[in-house]
Structure 1
């Protein structure tokens, strides 16, 4: 059974008013709202500015992908994975292994960016990841090349099956894999403070669920 941790914090007056309006006439559990908002910030929001993460309309992305060749999409996917995505994984998880790579595709790519629908099955030795979308073959090439580049850094073999609306990624050899953490990690990831607001705030007591 989950334990609850009591936290007291302050929020802006206008936010408090909007909570009251939102709850007016409805049976809304404030703790649920707070938990969801905090979780979204912790898992997603605090990285938006640092890594320029955005959500995009799938209709717009379909048009953009239609103007990119398959080869260019693969090249872009490889470059992005080896640069921005690898850096993000290290910053987010403080390690670089298969679990953190796949978690990035699941949490960031699927749950928060809504770029595709993520599904996975298999075991630690052999995994199959399916990324379903509706934006064209170039997108499949991009996502597949990104995951392949990251798996290559870990010494893993990856087979790809691409189509217009999904990419199937078959990963072999994950069971004996050891994570990779560069010696310069702390130096690379240092100096990324989160700014705090100095505006007037009011007290608002809540109980936030925390898993222990």
Structure 2
């Protein structure tokens, strides 16, 4: 009887269950990324074929085991990126030449991952995940440089509500050691859900992520 009770205590130890991935838990994440969308628009006009720049984000997640090794993981992250157009400018809005443009964007991403994990030694695990991601851009600071004062300096345009919302697909892998997490992911914009006069289309993102799980 004593042996059975001891074995039962081991099987249902909360820390062991956490390590095996059979209990839900919360986590926090921070990411450093490179963003390189395929298109940039200015006043509804396609401006450039691409842009590139840094992207930083912080957020949290809720890990929900579905069955052995499989899980669902909704995430929320707030981000800021600063992009600069690459290559030649495709169009001259209002007949004025633009040499380059920069965008600073504040937004929120909501990835919903479906993943698989393999755990060994009780507290180490390897994870593979993929799923849809909703990208909400709340505000974009748009600057164009050109030969006239009209397009020099800064033109600010707030993007709220029905502006700047995309559906992306995101996939990646990660490694956990106890409560600590490191990982990498890639996202690609597939559908523009709402129209936007200014900003990017077909966003792409390569991310390196660190985190802690409670």
TM-score range normalised by the length of the shorter chain: under 0.3
Higher strand share: 2
Where relative contact order (Cα < 8 A, 6+ residues apart) is larger, the structure is: 1
Structure with the larger helix share: 1
Larger radius of gyration: 2
TM-score of the two chains, using structure 1 as the length reference? 0.22
